[in-house]
């Protein structure tokens, strides 16, 4: 029984990890379309635009990081790094 419990706990994605994954997906789709999203657009496409969600610390931090990276690079060098960065963020957020 303990192994079953461990397997379920190890396989469950936390809300924070799910939200981060959705936000990075939204960023990738906007950049693929050649659009540099606003905060509202990013949250809307990721479906994280509810008041309780936007106040979640990991959601705020992730949106801030995505927008700062887009601003700093103009999006030109950001796309190749999104996959590795989103994986790192999911690992960090799943420890909450």
Nearest to 56 by CA among 12, 15, 89, 13: 15
Average pLDDT, the chain: 76
What's the pLDDT tens digit per position in 49-89? Answer: 777 777 788 888 999 999 998 888 776 655 555 555 555 55
38 domain-assigned: yes
In tens, the pLDDT along 16-43 reads 888 899 999 999 999 888 889 998 999 9
Under 8 Å between Cβ of 83 and 21? no
Number of domains into which the chain is organized = 1
* DSSP secondary structure code for residue 14 in this structure: P
State the residue range of the domain holding 85.
14-93
Residue 6's pLDDT band, with cuts at 50, 70 and 90, is low
What are the tokens at 55? 């106040």
pLDDT for 94 equals 46
Whether 2 is in a domain gets the answer: no
This prediction has a pTM of: 0.67
């Amino acid at each position: 029984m303990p192994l079953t419990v461990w397997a379920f706990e190890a396989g469950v994605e936390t809300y924070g990890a799910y939200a981060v994954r959705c936000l990075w997906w939204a960023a990738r789709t906007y950049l693929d379309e050649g659009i540099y999203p606003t905060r509202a657009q990013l949250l809307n496409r990721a479906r994280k635009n509810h008041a309780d969600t936007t106040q979640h610390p990991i959601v705020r931090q992730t949106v801030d990081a995505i927008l700062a990276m887009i601003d700093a690079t103009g999006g030109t060098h950001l796309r190749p790094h999104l996959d590795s960065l989103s994986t790192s963020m999911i690992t960090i957020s799943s420890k909450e």
